[in-house]
Amino acid sequence: MKNIKYLLILISFGMLNQSFSQDTIGKLTFETRYQLRQDSTYLPNLNIRYFFKENSALRIGLAYQYSSVLREIKEVDGDGLGTVEKLNDMFMFNIGIEKHFRKNNVSPYLGGELQFGIGKKEEFGTRTDSVIFIADYNYSVKKPISHFGVYVFSGVDFYVFDNLYIGTELGVLFSSAQSKTGEFKITDESSLTDPEIITSIPSVKTKSFGVANVGMIKVGWRF
């Protein structure tokens, strides 16, 4: 809440100044984004704009998404402990265009972009089959994944100083994700015949449509 209060103070201070430069042709902006509401851990991402016209900009973004979840499974009648760890990571690249409607220090905009991503999903089970504790049983799941999305958005930038701005953005995203052929590996140390079994996981495609970037705050600098 303190961070939000400071942002509001900056916006109010900036609105008192009406002498902001309106010359944007050929200008670059660099910004980072922070998600106030999220299910995964997002490392700082970089977005770059280039204004090729007074109110039109090309934008390019790079981001890295990572999440890790660890779950413990206890032995029912004993002190044994198993664990299940799920890891997801993805590198994202996006390219799009924005149309701005700037007046003084406030710059609302509309736009669209294409998104591309590549990464992997992994799951590791130690002394468990993911349901119950099994002392000699381990497994791993490894699947490469890819992402393609079409994102339509609107947002607003508040220039608190001539070149410094904060803002937010909201849009709708159509995405298509593919979980490519993966590997499921079981290691059963109690087996007398085949202690290690490896099977193939078939490729799966999924599609989704929904609201994106709820609770996103960004900070940028114009050069």
**pTM tops 0.85:** no
The answer for residues whose C-beta is within 8 angstroms of residue 88's C-beta and 6 or more apart is 40, 65, 66, 67, 68, 119, 120, 121, 122
- How is residue 115 written in tokens? 């998104």
Q: Bridge-partner residues for 90, per DSSP?
A: 65, 119
Residue 72 tokens read as: 């413990």
Report the pLDDT value the prediction gives residue 109, as an integer from 0 to 100: 98
pLDDT value of position 216? 87
Distance from C-alpha of 197 to C-alpha of 183, rounded to nearest angstrom = 10
Task: Collect all residues with Cβ–Cβ distance below 8 Å to 8 and sequence separation of at least 6.
Answer: none
DSSP 88-102: EEEEEEEEEEEEE--
Domains of the chain, CATH where assigned = 2-222 (2.40.160)
**3-state secondary structure (DSSP) of residue 38:** coil
* Residues 163, 176: Cα–Cα separation, whole Å: 37
Q: Is 79 exposed, middle or buried (0-12, 13-18, 19+ CB in 10 A)?
A: exposed
Regions of the chain with pLDDT less than 50: 1-19
